[in-house]
Structure 1
Amino acid sequence: MDIELPRSLIDYLVQSRVALALASVEEDNPLLMVNPAFCDLTGYDAADVVGKNCRLLQRDAPNDEQRTRLREFLTRPRQPNVRTAIVNFRKDGTPFVNLLYMSRLRSLNGATSFIFASQFDVSRSQPELLADYDRDLGAVLGRLAPIAGEAGIVVEGTLMTIANSAATVAQAKLMLDDLNGVTGD
C-alpha cells in the first residue's frame, strides 16, 4: 500500500473487526485502503475498490437524502463527522442498508488529511448487534486517536450514539423494501 500513513495506523485499521475504509481528500475522494472486515461485508476485494469512490457501492439506489448528507459533510470542512443509513450493494448485487459513519483525520495544522469511514449492515441485524457495533466503533475510535496522534494526525469528531437501535433497524428494513425494482445491476 502506497499510503502516507504510519505503519502502526495501517496495521491497526487492517486488524479491526469493524469494517473500515480510508479515503483521500483529493478530488472524488478515492478509497486508499479498506480492511478485511470491509471486504467481508461488501464482497469486494481491496483491488476492486481502492482508487475508486465508495459510491460504487450505491449503484442505482434511491439515496437522495443520504447523498445530500454525505456531500454536505465532504464540502463543509468544519463538520467533524456524519452518520447515515444508506442503501449499498454487495459485489454479488445483494442490497443491504449500511450504517455509514465518516469522520476526518486531520494533520496538526488543521488540514484534512484523510476521510475515515466505518460500515455496518443494519438491514439484517438484531438491535443487540447494532449496540455491539456502536460499542466496537467507539473502541476503534478511542484506540485510533492515540495511534494517529503519534503520527501527527488528529481523529476529528466523536461517535454519535444511536438513541433507538430498534428504530434504526426498522428504518433500514423500510429502505430495503423501498428499493422495489432496483436490482443493483
Structure 2
Amino acid sequence: MTDTSTAGHGDHALPASVIEILSRSEVPIVFADAGLDDAPLIYANDAFCRLSGYDRDEVVGRNCRFLQPPQGAGPVRERIRAFMANDAKTQDRFLISNVRKSGERFLNLLYMSKLRRPGKPTLFLGSQFDITKFTARGADAFDDALASDIQQINALTSQSGWPMLSSTATLASSFETIIQAKLND
C-alpha cells in the first residue's frame, strides 16, 4: 500500500521528498488543503489507512469529518474550525471521537499544524493517535516518532521557504492531554 507519488497538483502539491518521509512514517499523517473547497485531504499515509481502516483512494478528496460519528464531534469541531481560521495559531491538539471504517469507535488525539508556503494555499498537517487503549509507552513512542518526522519535514521544507512547524512544544503537552482525558473518563 506504500504510496510515494505526489499528493495534490500544482499549487496544491507536496514535494516528493516530503511524501517519501510520510510514506515511511509509522505515525498516522494526513495533509488537507485550505485552498480547496472544504479543505479536503490531499494525502494520507499508510499508517493513517491502517488506523482508520480506509484505503487511500477512499479518503483523498474528502474532509476528515467523515471519521466523525453520525451525531458529530460536538464542541471540539468548533475548536478545530477556530484553529483553522486563526492565522496567528500555528498548531494545536484536539481530543475527538472518531469511527473506523469497520464502525469501531476510537478516541483520537489529533495534532494539527499549518504549513504556509509562499504564494500558495495553506496546508494542514494532521496526525492522529488512538488513545482508546492508552499506555504511557505508546504515547511516548507516538511523540518521539512524530517529533522525528516533523524535524525531517522541517529540514526539507525550510529549504524551499515553507515555514512549517514552530516546535514540538505541542507534542510535549500531548501526554498531559491524554492523561487529562483519562482522568475525565
Normalised to the residue count of structure 2, the TM-score between the two structures is 0.84
Does residue 154 (structure 1) correspond to residue 163 (structure 2)? The answer is yes
Match of 1:101 in 2: 111
Does residue 45 (structure 1) correspond to residue 55 (structure 2)? The answer is yes
Equivalent pair of 1:106/1:114 in contact (CA under 8 Å): yes
Q: Measure how far apart 1:61 and its partner are.
A: 4.6
Q: Which moved more, 1:131-140 or 1:37-46?
A: 131-140
Match of 1:31 in 2: 41
Match of 1:83 among 93, 107, 110: 93
Structure 2 alignment gaps of length 5 or more: 1-5
Q: Does the residue aligned with 1:137 lie in a helix, a strand or coil? A: helix
Matches within 5 A, 1:89-128: 89-108=99-118, 112-128=121-137
CA distance in 2, matches of 1:57, 1:140: 24
Match of 1:129 in 2: 138
CA distance in 2, matches of 1:59, 1:32: 22
Q: Deviations over 1:127-148 (max 9, x none)?
A: 2211221121111111110111
Normalised to the residue count of structure 1, the TM-score between the two structures is 0.84
Instruction: Give the letter aligned to residue 88 of structure 1.
Output: N
Q: Measure how far apart 1:34 and its partner are.
A: 0.2
Match of 2:154 in 1: 145
CA distance in 1, matches of 2:177, 2:95: 12
CA distance in 2, matches of 1:157, 1:28: 25
Equivalent pair of 2:28/2:128 in contact (CA under 8 Å): yes
1:141/1:61 CA distance change after superposition, 3 Å:
farther
Structure 1 alignment gaps of length 5 or more: 175-185
Instruction: Give the letter aligned to residue 25 of structure 2.
Output: S
Q: Deviations over 1:126-178 (max 9, x none)?
A: 12211221121111111110111233322133331225366246158x3xxxx
Q: Does the residue aligned with 2:84 lie in a helix, a strand or coil? A: helix
Q: CA RMSD in A?
A: 2.0
CA distance in 2, matches of 1:66, 1:85: 7
Q: What is the percentage of aligned positions where both structures have the same residue?
A: 31
CA distance in 2, matches of 1:166, 1:19: 17
Q: Does the residue aligned with 2:133 lie in a helix, a strand or coil? A: coil
Q: Measure how far apart 1:50 and its partner are.
A: 0.4
Instruction: Give the letter aligned to residue 53 of structure 1.
Output: N
